[in-house]
Each structure stands twice: as C-alpha cells, then as structure tokens.
C-alpha cells in the first residue's frame, strides 16, 4: 500500500467522509437492524391511522408496566407513565433520578399520515354505482391515489353515546375499495392537464358498491343497498356519518424491496418510521438519569392544529403538571430540556436529482438525517436549531457510533416543509430535527432503509441516556 501523502493525512483530519451503513456496521449489527425492522413492519400493518397507533402504543405500554398519568401525583424515579390525548396522541415518560429542573430528554414524532378522509355526507349513487366522496388530508399527489386497493378505517359516535370501530380491507378475504381513472383511449383531454390537476380533489370518489337493493323483485337503489349493509353490520344510519371519522388508506402490507431486501416499502413511513423507534426506545429504558419523554402527536400533516396537535396545549399542560407534582419549576425544566423532533426528510433520488442540492441532501442507508432547519424560501416556518445544541448532539451520536448525515428538504426556493420542531421550540427548549430519509415521501408507498430505521432506535436510546 502506498504511503499516505501529507494531503491524505490532512483530508483524514479535516474532511468529513460520509459512509454507507455497510462500511461501518458489522454483519451482526446489520442482522440486528433487519430483525428490528420485522417488528416495525408489523407495526406499519397494524397502525395505519393515528387512532390505531395510539391504541397499539397504550396497549403495549400497559403490558410493560406503564400507568396512566394522574395530574398532581408525585412519582418516584423509574416510574413509567403515559397520557392518552383523546385517543389520537400519546405521551410516554420514564421518570429519571435527577431533578426535573435539570431538564429532560424528549423525542417527539407524529403518528398521522397523508390519506383520504370521507366528507361528512359522503354516500351517493350515480349511474349504477355507489360511491363515497372524500377530502384529502395532508400534502398528497392526487394522481397517486387512483386505481389501487384501499382499506377503510372508521370510528362512528352515535347519538346514544355508542362508539363503533370499523376496519374493512386489511384482512384476507375482506373487500377493498378503489378510485377509478380514465382509460388511455379516452383520456386525451385529461392528458392535457398539468400533472397536479391530472386528478382533481373532487374526482377522488371511492367505489363502494354496484348492486342495488332488491325488494319484492324491484331494484330500490345502490345507495340504499349500502346503507342497509352498514345498518345490518354496524347499526349505522346515514346521519351517523356526521359524527364519524372515516379514513381511506392503502390496503397493501409492508414488504421488503430489492434483491438484497435492504429497503422497506410501505404506506405511512412518514412519520411512523420515527414514531416506532422512539416508542421502542422508551419502552426499553430503565432507571434513566434524566426523565425521558416520547411524544406521539396527531395532525402534523395539516399544521399540528386541533386539540390533538402540538399547536395545542396538551403537551405543555402535561409537562407543567408533571413538574409541579415533582416540586420542580416547569420553566426551569423546559429551559434545560433537550428535544429531538423525530421526523423524516427527503432522500436523494437519482431519478430526480434536479430538485436536490447534492452537498446538503440525505442519502439512503447512510444514516439519520440531521436537519438544522426546515421551512420554505427564507426559512419560513422553521425553528433553526442552535449551534451549541447541534454540537452537543453530534458528540452524543458519534460516541454511540450512530451514522448520521446533514441534509435539507431540497434546493432553496424549490419547495420546503415543516415539522414539529417549530411548535416544540415555543416551549423554550433546545430542539432539532433528526430522522430517517425516505424515497417517494407522502406517496401511498414510500421507501426507507432498514439500517437507517435501526439507527433511529439506537439514536433515541443514546439520546435518552446522554449527559
């Protein structure tokens, strides 16, 4: 081997070299990452809505000894608690040995994903079909949602207080649902539309039936046939749609992608690819020095609004109640707190390189992406993390041998986006985005790398334990 030149030595000393996971992980660590992702795939299949995620998390937490949080109760170090925020958001916490005024370690992810919601009066019939009208939720590319099998998840709250949960299309043998599109032979006018208008919002109508209700040998309508089915199966009447939440999501299951099986393709990676590792990390935590908190929030995809989104007070109320019961000053606790806004970023796609800055992009299987700021144009909607906190976090990640990279959401002025970070920053704590890079983000089928997913778990574990 040739002797290293002075320039080679300087490069090793001064330059940062980004590495692929296979260059830094042992075969045993890669196997461990793959095994971790088997549980994650099951989570994806079971938790396609924020309600399903919350239910799964709470059920697992209770099995692991977490108890429901009681405001005003003083907890001992090591106590494991959770808060159920209206069935759509969850907070998990493990009390540390140190005073809360020394700060806490918090990881916050969101558990909602882009989807199609049913309108309040969704059911109609037209020309031999029964259909549901929808309103898309979050930033989707509407043309991606047609001609694919859909499952229907719903919660119906009746006037008598009865709550009915409905899930159709996830089990083998279940019917599925579908949005139709034009055949190419008749699509000449549609093909002239701009891509973003190829399918319009009012054209996202879901086919739910095509046989009329037959009474005394007479066809009595397609809509009535669906209403009778819903009434016979769930006790619903049409007005119950007004106090219901129905969501249409892709019916496919999570699966391995590629000959090497190194990627996972699934619906809902954004942001369950972060929420699952954050949850598993706090479930595995025992007797930490600092109190650790995992936040699983709703409504991020539409601006964190509503009483289950982080722009509400539920997280602040929980933290204040917790601090006061422990005899700590909530403001001091938050001022000393450190937080990961655990959210995804765009992975570099070689098919679409023009929208990315190669020097400031995240690459698949090269570790977590550390995003100092998000927002759009002039950093609008960003929290822009402090340099001092980034320096501390770099040390934590490097000491734990966590592979990470710096990245941004595309070129300046090309687009942009927001995360939970700006809402967490309002609490006067240190926060930065750290997450898994994705391909085809916000599509019904996204791609994530298994080693990156495992890195998120290892990073959360190191973060919760960090000094």
Using H for helix, E for strand and C for coil, what is the string for the chain?
Answer: CCCCCHHHHHHHHHCCCCCCHHHHCCHHHHHHHHHHHHHHHHHHHHCCCHHHHHHHHHHHHHHCCCEECCCCCCCCCCCEEEEEECCCEEEEEECCCCCHHHCEEEEEEECCCCEEEEEEEEEEEECCEEEEEEEEECCCCHHHHCCCCEEEEEEEECCCCCEEEEEECCCCCCCCEEECCCCHHHCHHHHCCCHHHCCCHHHCCEEEECCCCEECCEECCHHHHHHHHHHHHHCCCHHHHHHEEEEEEECCCCEEECCCCCEEEECCHHHHHHHHHHHHHHHCCCCCCCEEEEEEECCHHHCCCCCCCCCCCHHHHHHHHHHHHCCCCHHHHHHCCEEEECCCEEECCCCCHHHCCHHHCECCCCCEEEECCCEECCCECCCCCCHHHHHHHHHHHHHCCCCEEECCCCCCCCCEECCCHHHHHCCCCEEEEEECEEECCCCCCEEEEHHHHHHHHHHHHHHHHCC
Contact 362, 435 (CB under 8 A): no
Residue 94 lies in a domain: yes
Q: Please give the pLDDT value at position 109.
A: 98
Residue 227 lies in a domain: yes
**What would the mean pLDDT of 23-29 be, rounded to a whole number?**
96
Averaged pLDDT score across all residues of the chain: 96
Residue 377 predicted with pLDDT over 80:
yes
Together in a domain, 189 and 86? no
Which residues have CB under 8 Å from 338's CB, separation 6+? 103, 104, 105, 106, 389, 392, 393, 429, 430, 431, 463, 466
CA 67, CA 80: separation in Å to the nearest integer?
6
**pLDDT tens digit string along 426-435?**
999 999 999 9
- Helix 450-465 to helix 387-399 angle, to the nearest 10 degrees? 110
Together in a domain, 372 and 442? yes
**pLDDT tens digit string along 404-432?**
999 998 899 887 888 999 999 999 999 99
Number of structural domains in the chain: 2
Q: Please give the pLDDT value at position 416.
A: 81
Together in a domain, 119 and 109? no
Q: Please give the pLDDT value at position 1.
A: 67
Q: Among residues of the chain, what percentage have pLDDT more than 70?
A: 100
The more confidently predicted of residues 417 and 307 is 307
Residue 8 lies in a domain: no
Together in a domain, 203 and 95? no
What confidence category does residue 161 fall into, taking pLDDT thresholds of 50, 70 and 90? Answer: very high
Residue 447 predicted with pLDDT over 70:
yes
Residues facing 338 on adjacent strands: 105, 430
Q: Please give the pLDDT value at position 274.
A: 98
Residue 46 lies in a domain: yes
**What would the mean pLDDT of 225-246 be, rounded to a whole number?**
97
Contact 310, 271 (CB under 8 A): no
**What would the mean pLDDT of 54-68 be, rounded to a whole number?**
98
CA 330, CA 328: separation in Å to the nearest integer?
6
Contact 41, 263 (CB under 8 A): no
Together in a domain, 348 and 395? yes
**What would the mean pLDDT of 85-90 be, rounded to a whole number?**
98
Range of the domain at 445: 18-113+267-465
Q: Please give the pLDDT value at position 428.
A: 96
Q: Which of 250, 283, 318 corresponds to the end of one domain? A: 250
Both tokens assigned to 134: 């929808």
**What would the mean pLDDT of 246-272 be, rounded to a whole number?**
98
CA 292, CA 465: separation in Å to the nearest integer?
8
314 φ, ψ (degrees, to nearest 5):
-65, -40
**What would the mean pLDDT of 233-250 be, rounded to a whole number?**
97
Together in a domain, 391 and 271? yes
Residue 308 predicted with pLDDT over 70:
yes
Together in a domain, 95 and 142? no
Together in a domain, 123 and 192? yes
**pLDDT tens digit string along 178-190?**
999 999 999 999 9
The more confidently predicted of residues 248 and 10 is 248
The closest alpha carbon to 89, from 35, 52, 44, 138, belongs to 52
Q: Please give the pLDDT value at position 400.
A: 97
Say which CATH number the domain at 83 has: 3.40.630.10
Together in a domain, 97 and 122? no
């Amino acid at each position: 081997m040739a002797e290293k030149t002075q320039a080679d030595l300087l490069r090793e000393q001064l330059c940062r070299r980004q590495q692929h996971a296979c260059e830094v992980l042992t075969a045993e660590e890669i196997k461990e990452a793959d095994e971790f992702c088997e549980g994650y795939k099951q989570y994806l299949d079971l938790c396609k809505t924020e309600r399903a995620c919350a239910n799964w998390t709470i059920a697992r937490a209770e099995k692991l000894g977490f108890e429901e949080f009681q405001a005003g109760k003083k907890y001992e170090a090591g106590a494991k608690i959770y808060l159920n925020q209206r069935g759509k958001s969850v907070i998990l916490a493990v009390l540390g040995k140190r005073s809360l005024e020394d700060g806490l370690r918090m990881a916050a992810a969101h558990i909602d994903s882009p989807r199609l919601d049913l309108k309040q009066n969704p059911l109609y019939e037209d020309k031999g079909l029964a259909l549901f009208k929808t309103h898309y939720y979050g930033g989707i590319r509407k043309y991606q949602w047609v001609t694919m099998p859909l499952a229907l998840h719903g919660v119906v709250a009746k006037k008598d207080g009865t709550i009915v949960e409905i899930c159709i299309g996830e089990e083998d043998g279940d019917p599925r649902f579908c949005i139709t599109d034009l055949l190419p032979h008749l699509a000449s006018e549609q093909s002239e539309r701009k891509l973003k208008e190829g399918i319009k919002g009012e054209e996202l109508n879901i086919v739910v039936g095509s046989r009329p209700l037959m009474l005394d040998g007479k066809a009595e309508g397609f809509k009535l046939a669906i209403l009778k089915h819903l009434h016979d199966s769930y006790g619903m009447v049409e007005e119950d749609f007004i106090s219901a939440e129905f969501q249409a999501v892709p019916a496919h299951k999570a699966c391995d992608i590629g000959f090497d099986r190194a990627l996972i393709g699934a619906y809902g990676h954004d942001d369950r690819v972060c929420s699952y590792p954050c949850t598993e990390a706090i479930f595995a935590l025992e007797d930490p020095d600092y109190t650790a908190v995992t936040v699983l929030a709703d409504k991020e995809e539409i601006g964190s609004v509503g009483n289950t989104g982080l722009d509400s007070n539920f997280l602040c109320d929980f933290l204040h109640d917790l601090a006061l019961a422990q005899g700590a000053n909530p403001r001091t606790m938050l001022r000393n707190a450190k937080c990961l806004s655990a959210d995804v970023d765009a992975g570099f796609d070689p098919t679409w390189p023009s929208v990315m800055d190669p020097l400031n992009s995240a690459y698949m299987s090269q570790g977590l992406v550390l995003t100092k700021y998000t927002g759009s144009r002039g950093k609008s909607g960003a929290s822009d993390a402090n340099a001092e906190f980034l320096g501390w976090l770099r040390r934590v990640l490097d000491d734990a041998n966590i592979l990470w990279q710096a990245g941004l959401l595309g070129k300046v002025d090309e687009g942009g986006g927001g995360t939970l970070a700006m809402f967490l920053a309002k609490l006067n704590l240190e926060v930065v985005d750290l997450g898994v890079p994705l391909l085809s983000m916000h599509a019904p089928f996204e791609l994530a790398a298994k080693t990156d997913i495992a890195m998120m778990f290892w990073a959360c574990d190191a973060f919760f334990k960090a000094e």
